[in-house]
Every structure is written in structure tokens, then in C-alpha cells.
Structure 1
Amino acid sequence: MKYKLVAFDVDGTLISEQVWKRLHTHFGMEDDFNEKNITLYRQGKLTYSDWVKSDIDIWKKKGATKSLIKEGLKDVKLVDGAKELIQELKKMGYKLAIISGSLNVAIEHVFPDYEDYFDYIFLNKILFDDEGNIVDVESTKFDHEGKAAALAHIAKLEGLSLQECVFVGDNYNDVDIAKIAGLSIAFNCRDKNLAEVCDVIVNSNDMRNLLDYIHEA
């Protein structure tokens, strides 16, 4: 196999929606709330960790619990063909990774046994007590420009070159990792800058259509 490892984004890639935006709306936050924090982050006025924690703190103040978060995610689904693609890649012997700024509760909701398939998982984690109350959040170090560092870290652990790694994403925070992957695929791309740096652009309602690009003899 030319490629040995495949890493996936979550929101907009494995999941068709932007989970943070969906939950902001569910908990009654302003439509432009996320855009304001993105601007502050890009200006260096807000760290990624503080950004994640401030969002979760606001949800908590609005009464968020595990059950209410799940209620907000009830219509969120895995992209068609995503699980079948992942199962096939696993069967073929690929190492699989999630490198995302999404939330553990989201991927657990749409793909309950995801940990059985992915060898490496980097995303934000909300921690709950036995009653479902939010007790803490562990923010990932590997979103935005950090995604590239995550891929390089995994490749080193596996003894692979970056040219043997594939990344599949959809948005602006995937640009840096797309630049270093041996094969970068923009799946239903939402950002022109990502489209410019990716090797392949695939617009499809079935993720199984990526297999022919990934699996080269």
C-alpha cells in the first residue's frame, strides 16, 4: 500500500454538521458567537484552551447536562458511508486517526464504538459526573495549526513518513495539516483556502467514494 495511515476530521467530515455551532444554537447563544471567538483566537487574544473552556462554561450556566447535550445532538448523524469506509480501511490494515476540534460526546453519539476502529484519537473531551453534570473539559492541543503537529507525532510513533499519511477534512482549520499529508482530501469542502492546498476535492453524499483515492496498490 502506498499509504499506511488515514486521519479524519469530524465536524463536516465524518459528521455532516458543525457540532459546536449546533450546540451553541441549542443552548440559546447568539448566531455570531462562534465567529467572535474565532476572531479573538486568530488575533492572539484568546488561547484555544480558554476558548473551549469559556464556551463550555456558558453552556453550564445555561443548565447544560449530558442529557441536554445529547438532546441537542439528536438529529446529528454520521455521513453516509463513513462507517463502512472506516471498517474497510481497518480490514485492509490501515492505521486510523481522528484529529479534530470536535467533541467526544458528538462522535460517541453517532459512532458509539468508534474507539474500536481508531488507533489515535485527538479531540475535545467533556467530562461528566455520575449524574451527567459537566465537571471539566479537556481541550485538545491539536486543532487548527496543531493538527499538523498531531499528524507528525502519529507518523513518528508509527515509523511512517508524512508521505505515507492521508488526511480527510473540510474546513479552514484543516489547511496546515493538508499541506503536510502525503494525500490530502477535501471532502465536501467548505473553505477555498483548503481547496487550494488539497490534492483531491471530493463532493459526494457517500464517503465510500474516497476509497479509490486512498487505496493505491
Structure 2
Amino acid sequence: MSNFTATLLLSSTPRKSPPSTPPPQTIDSTYITETIRDAFSCLCTKVYLNLLLDTWKPLSTDSLSTATAVEVTIIDPTSSGIQIRALKGYSELKEFEYIYNVDVALQEDSVFRKHKRLVVFDMDSTLIEQEVIDELAAFVGVKDKVAAITESAMRGELDFTASLRSRAALLNGVPSNVFTTLKSNGTITFTPGAHELCKALKKLGCKLAVLSGGFQPLAEWVKSSLGLDYAYANTLEVSADGQSLTGVVLGDIVNAERKATLLKEIASKEGVDLRQVVAVGDGANDLVMMREAGFGVAFNAKPKVQEEAPSHLNSGTLRDILYLFGFTAAEVEELVD
């Protein structure tokens, strides 16, 4: 038999896309109520998983009755994870999440769950709230056009490498000091909880990296601001007179495959077992690195990404990721203090 942990978090953001056949009603709760816990227990029973009722543990508060994040131990009698994979793919789990506006993350209950050593992040719409290339496009009046391509690429509808080159070409003529401008005028903002999460992870001894399909100048700024250890992103060519961008992307593009390769290279360099690596992102180009990591989190991600990622979290703050590692609110406060 194998033990797994299920973490249930009440979403603080609007419900995700409904299942193909939406349930007749949805239920809004302030807490993970007994009704929600009972409904989840029933789901587990349907796929022959043994949920240990006496292991329900509140994470966000000291009491189960007022918790918005809880965890519970599940036993998979097959010892192979077959039944857990069945639960992950179960259409009724998606309905459960939609009805109660709850995110469910399933992980093997091992020493590696709480002891992470490397966490890699996407940048745009993950560590920061904007898609940087869209903001660059605003300087030459093509933001709407570029944003539409970006949205489609992040949903996985377009090849990322080709779409980046086509979007970058539209940036010809953007002032070369644009990255300094974006940083200084308040256009680029960090996602709530980014600083606290990175501070907590550093206290735990984790190495941190940003692997971005965006651009190196801002990735370096994010690295410096959050105390990260690595930053990899794309480089835009500057005109011969140094005054503007040419719209050409230099070198290898940091696409989905490149992110996964970088994740493995950093882990190898730092001597980190991949089971102790976490990848966090929001776009289709983050899925490959999520699968390479021991644990992947789709944060406020596109619907397709939420369905395919190892786990998903819809929250107003990145610090809620710490609940997925089994930390309580009191422990989180100690880590971010």
C-alpha cells in the first residue's frame, strides 16, 4: 500500500471553467466544511481509495471548522499509484472542484513532499502579474495585437517559439531603455505573495530560479528583487546605435523544452534529486518542466494547463503554495517573518 496526501484549498478566485456537462448547482462556502470533506471522501471511495478520516488536518487555521486549507491521508491499496491516477483523471473530481470552488492537489506522502531543495518559476503572470511582451508592444501601438497572440500561445494553441519570434518582430523600434522604464514607472508588479514565498523557501534552504519565455533584463531584475539564484530568459537584439530594439530574438529561445532542460541542468549542478524539485507556472509552455519536476503547480493557469498539470492552485497569493508542502499557517508566518 502507498500513502498519498490530498490538499484541499478553497479557491479565492472565480471558479474555473465548468466541466463539459456543468453540474446543476454550485455551492459557495467560506470554509472547507464537513459537507465538502464528506463529498471528497465519497469520491475516493468510488475509485477504491482508503481515505483515513482521522487524518484530516487544518492548515490555514487551528480548527477544521474554520479552515480554508486542509489535508488528509489517502491509501492506495495497489502500491503503484494506479488508483491515485484514476482519481486525478476522474470527471467527478473536476465536478467536485467546480461545485465547491476547491482545488485538490494529490502527492505521494514521502519525505520529499516537505523537504524541497529547488523551486523554479515562470516569470510572466506567475512571479509578476503582467505579460512583459504585451507591455513592450504598447510602446509601438501594437499591444492588443501582441496580447491576442500571447493569450493563444499560453493556452497551447500556437507553437511558442514561432509565436515569440512573430511577436518580437512587432517590437522593432521600441526604445532600448524600455526595460528600465517598465521597472521605474510601476508597470511591472509582483504577484501578491511572491516575496513571502521566496523568503520562506530561502529560509528552508531551497535554491530558486526563474525560467522565462520573456526577456533577460527583467528576469535579472526579478532575480535580484526576490533573492533568486538563477535567471534564464530570452535576449532581444538592440540596434547598432543602441537606441532601439530590432525585433530579433538572439540565441536559443527559452521555450517549453528549454525550460525543462534548464531545470534538469540546475538540479544536476546543485546535486538535487528531481523528486525535490518544484516547478510553478501558468502557461502551456510550463507543462514540460512541471512534468520533469517532482511536483508541478499550475498557478492561476489557463484551463488547459490546469487540466494537464500535476496540480493546480487558484489563489490570490503565491504564499498559499506553502500549504501544498504541508506547512500550517503558523509555520508559514514563522518562515516569512
TM-score tier, shorter chain, comes to 0.7 to 0.9
Residue 207 of structure 1 corresponds to which residue in structure 2? 318
Residue 74 of structure 2 corresponds to which residue in structure 1? none
Residue 180 of structure 1 corresponds to which residue in structure 2? 292
Distance 2:326 2:234 in 1: 29
Aligned partner (choices 220, 227, 232) of residue 117 of structure 1 = 227
Question: Equivalent residue of 2:212, what SS?
Answer: strand
Alpha-carbon shift at residue 40 of structure 1 (Å): 11
Question: Equivalent residue of 2:259, what SS?
Answer: helix
Letter paired with 2:118: L
Distance 2:176 2:305 in 1: 33
Alpha-carbon shift at residue 182 of structure 1 (Å): 0.7
**How many residues of Structure 1 are paired with residues of Structure 2 in the alignment?**
206
Letter paired with 1:35: I
Aligned partner (choices 185, 196, 210) of residue 307 of structure 2 = 196
Unaligned runs of 5+ in 2: 1-113, 328-337
CA RMSD of aligned residues (A): 3.3
Alpha-carbon shift at residue 99 of structure 1 (Å): 0.9
Contact 2:234–2:250 (Cα < 8 Å) also in 1: yes
Contact 2:119–2:277 (Cα < 8 Å) also in 1: yes
Distance 2:209 2:169 in 1: 28
- The CA deviation string for residues 160-211 of structure 1, in whole angstroms up to 9 with x for no partner, is 2221100010011111111121110111112x33212323211111111112
Aligned partner (choices 275, 293, 299) of residue 163 of structure 1 = 275
Distance 1:23 1:133 in 2: 12
Residue 10 of structure 1 corresponds to which residue in structure 2? 123
With structure 1 as the length reference, what TM-score do the two structures score?
Answer: 0.76
Quick check: 1:66 aligned with 2:179? no
1:139–1:202 CA distance, 2 compared to 1 (3 A): farther
Quick check: 1:101 aligned with 2:176? no
With structure 2 as the length reference, what TM-score do the two structures score?
Answer: 0.52
Greater shift in the superposed pair: 30-39 or 82-91: 30-39
Alpha-carbon shift at residue 132 of structure 1 (Å): 5.5
Q: Which has the higher contact order (CA 8 A, sep 6+)?
A: 1
- The CA deviation string for residues 55-98 of structure 1, in whole angstroms up to 9 with x for no partner, is 545423xx322344544564221111101211221122101111
Residue 144 of structure 1 corresponds to which residue in structure 2? 256
Rg (Cα) greater in structure: 2
Distance 2:270 2:144 in 1: 42
Distance 1:200 1:103 in 2: 27
1:119–1:179 CA distance, 2 compared to 1 (3 A): same
Distance 1:147 1:112 in 2: 16
1:9-88 superposed matches below 5 A? 9-29=122-142, 31-33=144-146, 35=149, 42=159, 48=161, 55-56=167-168, 58-60=170-172, 63-71=173-181, 74=185, 75-88=187-200
Question: Equivalent residue of 1:59, what SS?
Answer: coil
- The CA deviation string for residues 97-148 of structure 1, in whole angstroms up to 9 with x for no partner, is 1111012333456x4724x722221111346699664488545543222211
